[in-house]
Amino acid sequence: MSSYSLVVFDWDGTLMDSTHGIVSAIQGACRDLELPVPSASEASWVIGLSLESALRRAVPQLTQAMLPRFLERYRTHYLLRDPDLQLFDGIQPLLGELAAKNVRLAVATGKSRVGLNRVLAATGLRNVFDATRTADETFSKPHPAMLQELMAELDVEPEHVIMVGDTSHDLNMATNAGVHGLGVTYGAHSPKELLECVPQAVVDDVPALREWLLPRVGG
């Protein structure tokens, strides 16, 4: 059984129940600009990518000239839902249990630095994580740069790292960085999509995530 000393979490759809808010914001911005509105499945598939990468996939009719206006409308729709967004039940105590086992904790997210800092402050988790990376600081998933940079910063070898995420982008990033991946099915991508990435395991809820992780971390 592997022993992980660094657990890296995706944010949206893994730690925070924000998938529906992101989908609604993409769809709402499309309506505002009179663009074709992607389905919920099309919009949720791009969650985890940098915002601009996501929009190129979900809204292919969006031109560069339209992008600033679209982003303004997207952020307006998203922030309207922001007060309602919560961590998944059980996530906060799980992070505490991991930290108590002297495990290093990190975040690798498609959010911007401004967006991540906002939710870290709102959830009181700013000091829980040893390091974080956002999509506007380095390459977007599934490029391995986020994980490579986190491993270098925290001085942890790949064999002691696991990436936890709800999308194939997270799990493919893990593969590309030479680390293990763990999929969660309660976020954006289907169990089938996650299993196709051949992670160590796929779990269906936070209690199952806790049950899988805790025996495999620390000394």
Residues classed as catalytic: 10, 12
Q: Is 218 left (phi over 0), alpha (psi -120 to 50) or beta?
A: left
**Residue keyed to tokens 């509105």:** 37
Residues 6+ apart with CB under 8 A from 91: 15, 16, 206
Question: What pairs with residue 161 in β-bridges?
Answer: 6
Q: Left if phi > 0, otherwise alpha if psi is -120 to 50, otherwise beta: which for 155?
A: left
Are 184 and 11 in contact by the 8 Å Cβ rule? The answer is no
